């Protein structure tokens, strides 16, 4: 939803301001909604004098808005989550190439493309009920298709970007044929039809409705650090695995951003992207949603991340990951993973 005050400010910036004033403003469309992001935006303005006008909405709504606005769009930056959504915006021609020595130095090559950049990462982990499943049964994503887990697996919808990105990674590592076999085996092992979000899967595992599930790491971190006793109890009933530690490493996804093709304030937009790669901004990203900084040298003091521990990361380039998302959807459809 567009907040009235934000919308009014944005209209003023694009319709009433003189070019000199307009150059000192930046218009952001964001699908991230975390309290710590407020400080992130405020500190950018303090450092640069560039005022930020922001519209927040769901990812698909923002992408559709940008398509409808076309060359008349006032937006300079799109911020969203998941490589598949960033790739969708890129495929639609919404982003402009960005050249920046700062970004090339700070952000690892596998976490950036020519048009969009990842600024935080999250892991897709396996969670299991210790009374129903043994840890050695679920050390890899591929294990979830093992017939020994029949009637024990829970996931959210196969059409959700989080699962499509995992499917795309499996295609890149194992090939399309093996990934389709995996998807069919996964579906055959369902304890119930896919429904709910990642937190729902974790709670179902804790309750014994499922033996094992996959979820993004920050959902588990939220439960572990929740002030609600029932959430803490659920987290204690669940164990988790960093998948594929002896092979490819654990699949990660990202929060990211890119400069838009019709940005009226391109210089300010590049400054903002470079700011997101600063240690200060990287810490805000990590603390806002219990994610890891994209910049490997950033030091984060986050108890939730410390509890999760360290793991081997899959460094599959985001460009390769996003290239296989559409094929992952076709495979999941054929396998009945909906």
Binding-site residue numbers for Fe cation are 33, 218-219
Q: Nearest 5°: CA angle at 316, between 310 and 322?
A: 125
Euclidean distance between the first and final Cα of the chain, in Å? Answer: 28
- Using the CB atoms, write b or e for 168-184: b if 16+ within 10 Å: bbbbbbbebeebbbbbb
Q: Give the CA distances from residue 177 to residues 171, 173, 266, in Å, rounded to whole numbers and listed in that order.
A: 8, 11, 43
Positions at the binding site: 33, 218-219
In a 3-state reduction of DSSP, which class is residue 174? helix
Nearest CA among 271, 231, 256, 198 for reference residue 51: 271
CA 324, CA 175: separation in Å to the nearest integer?
Answer: 10
CA 42, CA 233: separation in Å to the nearest integer?
Answer: 37
**What tokens were used for 101?**
């020595």
DSSP 196-237: S-HHHHHHHHHHTS-SEEEEEHHHHHHHHT-SSHHHHHHHHT
Q: Nearest 5°: CA angle at 197, between 1 and 324?
A: 90
Q: What is the 3-state secondary structure (H, E, C) of 71-111?
A: HHCCCCEEEEECHHHHHHHHHCCCECCCCCHHHHHHCCHHH
DSSP 240-287: EE-TTTTTT-B-EEEEEEEEBTT-S-HHHHHHHHHHHTSHHHHHHHHH
CA 158, CA 104: separation in Å to the nearest integer?
Answer: 34
Cα R_g (the chain), whole angstroms: 21
């Amino acid at each position: 939803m567009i907040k009235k005050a934000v919308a009014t400010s944005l209209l003023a910036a694009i319709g009433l301001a003189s070019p000199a004033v307009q150059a000192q403003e930046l218009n952001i469309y964001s699908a991230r909604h975390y309290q710590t992001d407020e400080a992130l935006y405020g500190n950018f303005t303090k450092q640069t004098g560039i005022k930020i006008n922001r519209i927040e909405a769901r990812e698909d709504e923002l992408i559709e808005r940008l398509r409808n606005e076309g060359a008349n769009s006032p937006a300079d930056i799109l911020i969203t989550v998941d490589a598949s959504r960033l790739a969708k915006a890129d495929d639609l021609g919404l982003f402009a190439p960005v050249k920046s020595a700062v970004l090339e130095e700070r952000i690892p090559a596998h976490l950036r493309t020519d048009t969009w950049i990842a600024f935080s990462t999250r892991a897709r982990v396996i969670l299991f009920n210790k009374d129903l499943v043994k840890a050695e049964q679920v050390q890899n994503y591929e294990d979830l298709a093992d017939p020994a887990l029949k009637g024990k697996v829970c996931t959210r919808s196969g059409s959700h970007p989080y699962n499509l990105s995992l499917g795309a990674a499996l295609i890149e590592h194992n090939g399309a044929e093996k990934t389709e076999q995996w998807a069919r085996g996964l579906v055959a092992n369902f304890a119930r039809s896919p429904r709910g979000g990642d937190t729902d899967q974790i709670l179902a595992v804790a309750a014994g409705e499922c033996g094992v599930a996959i979820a993004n790491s920050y959902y588990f971190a939220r439960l572990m650090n929740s002030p609600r006793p029932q959430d803490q109890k659920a987290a204690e009933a669940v164990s988790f695995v960093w998948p594929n530690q002896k092979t490819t490493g654990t699949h990660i996804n990202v929060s990211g951003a890119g400069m838009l093709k019709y940005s009226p304030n391109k210089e300010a937009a590049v400054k903002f992207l470079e700011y997101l790669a600063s240690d200060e901004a990287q810490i805000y990203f990590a603390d806002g949603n219990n994610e890891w900084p994209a910049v490997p040298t950033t030091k984060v003091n986050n108890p939730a991340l410390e509890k999760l521990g360290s793991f081997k990361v899959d460094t599959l380039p985001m460009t390769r990951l996003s290239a296989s998302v559409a094929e992952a959807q076709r495979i999941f459809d054929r396998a009945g993973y909906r």
